[in-house]
Chain A
Amino acid sequence: MSVDEIRTSKADELRIVNKPLARHDAAEKIAGTTRYAGDLAFEGMLHARLVRAQVPSARLTRRDVTTARGLPGVVAVLLGEDVPNNEISVDVPGQTIAVGALKARMQVLATERVRFHGEPIALVVAEHEDALAAACEAVEIEYEDLPVVSDPEQALAEGAFAVHEGGNLLAEWNIDLGDVDGSFARADVIVEGEYRTQFVDHAYLEPEAGVSWIDDDGVLNLRVATQVVEHYRDIAKILGVPDSKVRVIAPYVGGGFGGKEDMTVEPYLAIATSHTRRPVRMQWTRNESLLARAKRHRNHMRYRTAAASDGTILAQDIEIVSDAGAYAYLSALVLLYSSVHACGPYRVQNARIRAKTAYTNNPPTSAFRGFGGMQVVLGYESQMDELAKKLGIDPGEIRKRNALRRGDRLPVGQEIITEVQLAQTIDAVRERAGEKPEPSGPRLAVGRAIASNMQSYGRLVWLNDSAAAWIGFQMDGSLTIRCAVPDIGGGQASSLAQISSEVLGVDMDRITVHFGDSALNPLAGTTTATRQLLMSGNATYEAAVMLRDQVLAAVAEETGQPVEALSLTPDGITGPDRTVSVTLALQICRRRNVPVEALGTFFGPKGKEVTRELQGERLFPDFTFGTHLADVEVDLDTGQVKVLRYIASHDVGRAINPLSVEGQITGAAVQGLGQALLEEIVMQDGVNLTGGFFQYLIPTAMDVPDIEAIVLESGEGLGPFGARGIGEPPIGPPLAVISSAIADAVGARPTTLPITPERVLECVERGSR
């Protein structure tokens, strides 16, 4: 089955799908019995910790582990020289091509040079956790400081110190469509803006953790908090062993958001266990997580937008520079997302987009919910509001006039193939909101704004994505699903049970999903890029349909009823003449040599490998559209912003589980509000000043209002039953909607995130002039 087959469903014909069911994993989580990656312990288990660089940019002149190795309880202290292949490949797992700069590497343990504050240099393994701290301190490291490159624009300037050999430009993408200069010359109105987003941390509640051991069969097992079990291949490469000798198990993960997409503890657990032949646990501290794990890219964006007097966008001229940090990770791809999403959900016939990402000595930057497609929302939606204001057109109306429709093409050339309900989401949030409230006191101002967005779901088409799932009936009629999908809290495994229940008529409490195991389950790819419902969801759907058809065909032959008259229901296989119980039907299958299991493999759409000049290409499977509305109250004396009301609407095609969909929308909106108003990884000359939750502030329950989610269902998408992905899309609009609502309240627009009280007061002052 091709991904291009648009799937649809009618809500009133669904039995289990589209119902707001408590997830099958919820009861154990609430009972406190779910064992996360750090919750497993073995007899004789060792503990491991990393010695990390104290400085952001230096040559390592001395690494002496003699004293540390001699301390009581210390089993091993390992350096880069002790790692069989001391290199972490950051090719996207499963990727079948490497495009120049996209293939960039870092060392497992640095041997000659460090490039960011917190980079791993040595690995200490000890009998007891208590021995770790002393041993880490006893590792003697001497540095010869090198220049620190702390800003991507400085990094790209002539004569800048090279963070890596070959220069600081890691990747660039260009999009050219139509006649941009001519359009600007003809324009009735031009709006210019400059926008800056900040480094942000994922701040999931579960810091990176895992346990490793060697089984009787000699296979190295890692049970780790990860979004990608397929990293077993990267681990095998580091150890120099065949891929089949490494197994990664992902238990329920305590939040991912992209931060557990790249490897974290895996290489270190692998070398520790492989060296000592004993079980090892590694638990990163929150400080390590904040210092050293990759962040969201900060983007510097310059927008020039040309429009006609009726609000029609004539052209976009956009420059983006992002901070790739010290190592490549996924920066090139994140920037590609920024480039392709840069014009937003609007028809743009003329566009010039210039995007660059540069190495610095800041922490590495990589995947984070929204993956480059979200920073640009601040750019294009701020421009849209300024345009509306200049032309005296209603902000909703100007968006509707320019909204993409099915059949339109993005500036990159990709055609929109499914229905777009952007206008409906605008109407939905405004209808719900009613009248703008009055300020609750003197020296307070209220502002309201909307912001729309689009975000892709599914991986880049030239990555040749695929996912597999296996479903088997047990002879008592219960169901076993095997699919190596990592469940990071979004209900990834539970959705598969719901889809199978719908097709096979088995009640949810009789279905077990075995997930997140690279050795025992069919591989389903990464839980990233809002792809699992599309990919493992479709694979499961296909397996379920195959299995249903096998069983129905066997019963049809056995009972002499036409197969098209039979259906599989919770009561059995019902037909015009006779109903057969599921257990009997399975016995019939056995007798007739008909398998009672099926393997579904789903292949994503294909596309050509991209080059630096992007044009005429389909890059993504499809997109999800939405609109948010916020009312804010600004204290004109203190700059404090209170979000009074927040409404978020997205078309999800078909909600497999409406509770999970609402959970994604409310959670992403609040995470986006954190980026808009509170959060920033603060760097000073390469030194990270935000090493704990006292410095890095994420929203508490007091900082945010209820999020009113309005789920629209066009009934159309590329996922099973017409579902679209919703994991990432709702995180983009908060950046713009808060900025625009503040602008509405005080008369001047904040353009740099986070919008701190100081920045609000600057706007109050500018607005009152």
Chain B
Amino acid sequence: MKPATTTDMTVTMTVNGKSVTRVAGGHVTLLRWLRDEAGVFDPKYGCGEGVCGACTVLVDGEPASACIVLAAQCEGSDVLTAAGLAGPDGELNALQRAFHERHGAQCGFCTPGMLMCATAMLADGRTRTRDEIREELHGNLCRCTGYQPIVDAIQDAQGVDR
């Protein structure tokens, strides 16, 4: 039995390169739609109010906290999550390899969001200082690493051909 609040409206997006059409009630967030409807579980629920960054994804190239965006707002959008970063055979990209080498993931729960924030950062090709990287990471919380290996990884990945 479906609760009365759910409508049968559907939303279509391109998620990690694949077109996906799923139901989305008017109140369903992009995070819930990705996780529960589309089966894309790498964006994480960490706070539900857009503070912790664990659900960061790129919507049409722009970073967004999927927990405070409605799925319906993303009709026709191109959504990229961390699970879409690796190559076709699953090989990690340059940023992911830098995270791997620098021990950028401990518990790993903030990692998908961190990767997407960093992907957005690297997209403009500008080389940032450590302080600038730290500043742009301020919307993504990590409780394990102390941030340093994440900053190291992003610094390493700058200017590397991806």
Among A30, A38, A663, the residue within 8 A (CB) of B115 is A30
Residues of chain B with a CB closer than 8 A to A33's CB? 42, 83
Interface residues on B, range: 35 or more
Within 8 A of B (CB), among A31-83: 31-36, 38-39, 41, 72-73
Among B39, B54, B90, B110, the residue within 8 A (CB) of A31 is B90
Among B2, B27, B146, B149, the residue within 8 A (CB) of A73 is B2
Within 8 A of B (CB), among A108-130: 126-130
Among A32, A207, A662, the residue within 8 A (CB) of B42 is A32
In the assembled complex, B111 has its CB within 8 A of some CB on chain A? yes
Do A128 and B103 form a contact, CB below 8 Å, given A254-B109, A669-B146, A701-B137? no
Number of A-B contacts (CB under 8 A): 187
CA separation between A660 and B145, bound complex, in Å?
10
Among A27, A31, A255, A283, the residue within 8 A (CB) of B143 is A255
Question: Nearest Cβ in chain A — how far from B18, in angstroms?
Answer: 15
In the assembled complex, B96 has its CB within 8 A of some CB on chain A? yes
Do A704 and B147 form a contact, CB below 8 Å, given A254-B44, A286-B48? yes
Among B47, B49, B101, B109, the residue within 8 A (CB) of A36 is B109
Do A32 and B82 form a contact, CB below 8 Å, given A204-B143, A205-B54, A663-B103? yes
Interface 1/0 per residue, B119-155 and A, CB below 8 Å? 0000000000010011101111111111111110000
Residues of chain B with a CB closer than 8 A to A36's CB? 44, 109
The listed residue with most A CB atoms (<10 A of its CB), out of B49, B54, B86, B108, is B108
Residues of chain A with a CB closer than 8 A to B100's CB? 22, 26-27, 30
Within 8 A of B (CB), among A191-214: 202-207
Are A72 and B3 touching (Cβ within 8 A)? yes
In the assembled complex, B63 has its CB within 8 A of some CB on chain A? no
Do A30 and B96 form a contact, CB below 8 Å, given A41-B36, A127-B3? yes
Residues of chain A with a CB closer than 8 A to B42's CB? 32-33
Are B5 and A489 touching (Cβ within 8 A)? no
Are A659 and B108 touching (Cβ within 8 A)? no
The DSSP consensus for interface residues of chain B is loop
Closest to A488 in B: B107
Question: Nearest Cβ in chain B — how far from A488, in angstroms?
Answer: 7
Residues of chain B with a CB closer than 8 A to A707's CB? 146, 148
The listed residue with most B CB atoms (<10 A of its CB), out of A31, A33, A73, A126, is A31
Interface residues on A, range: 35 or more
Are B36 and A205 touching (Cβ within 8 A)? no
Are A692 and B36 touching (Cβ within 8 A)? no
In the assembled complex, B59 has its CB within 8 A of some CB on chain A? no
Residues of chain B with a CB closer than 8 A to A253's CB? 107
Question: Nearest Cβ in chain A — how far from B79, in angstroms?
Answer: 13
Closest to A35 in B: B41
Closest to A490 in B: B106
Interface 1/0 per residue, A280-313 and B, CB below 8 Å? 0001011100000000000000000000000000
In the assembled complex, B158 has its CB within 8 A of some CB on chain A? no
CA separation between A534 and B48, bound complex, in Å?
38
CA separation between A732 and B91, bound complex, in Å?
40
Residues of chain B with a CB closer than 8 A to A35's CB? 41
CA separation between A566 and B149, bound complex, in Å?
41
In the assembled complex, B45 has its CB within 8 A of some CB on chain A? yes
Are B147 and A205 touching (Cβ within 8 A)? no
In the assembled complex, B1 has its CB within 8 A of some CB on chain A? yes
Are A130 and B49 touching (Cβ within 8 A)? no
Are B108 and A34 touching (Cβ within 8 A)? yes
Residues of chain A with a CB closer than 8 A to B115's CB? 30, 32
CA separation between A701 and B109, bound complex, in Å?
16
Interface 1/0 per residue, B1-21 and A, CB below 8 Å? 111111000000000000000
Residues of chain B with a CB closer than 8 A to A134's CB? 3, 5
Closest to A202 in B: B143
Closest to A707 in B: B146
In the assembled complex, A675 has its CB within 8 A of some CB on chain B? no
CA separation between A254 and B41, bound complex, in Å?
14
Closest to B51 in A: A693
Question: Nearest Cβ in chain B — how far from A259, in angstroms?
Answer: 10
Interface 1/0 per residue, A238-253 and B, CB below 8 Å? 0000000000000011
Are A693 and B47 touching (Cβ within 8 A)? yes
Are B111 and A29 touching (Cβ within 8 A)? yes
In the assembled complex, A700 has its CB within 8 A of some CB on chain B? yes
Question: Nearest Cβ in chain B — how far from A735, in angstroms?
Answer: 16
In the assembled complex, A472 has its CB within 8 A of some CB on chain B? no
Among B6, B107, B139, B143, the residue within 8 A (CB) of A128 is B6
Given contacts A26-B99, A205-B109, 10 further A-B pairs with CB under 8 A are: A22-B103, A32-B85, A33-B42, A127-B2, A127-B3, A203-B141, A206-B46, A693-B51, A700-B141, A706-B130
22 contacts between A and B (CB under 8 A): A23-B103, A26-B105, A31-B92, A32-B82, A33-B42, A39-B41, A73-B1, A203-B141, A204-B143, A205-B110, A205-B142, A255-B107, A255-B144, A286-B49, A287-B48, A667-B144, A692-B49, A698-B143, A700-B141, A701-B151, A702-B138, A706-B130
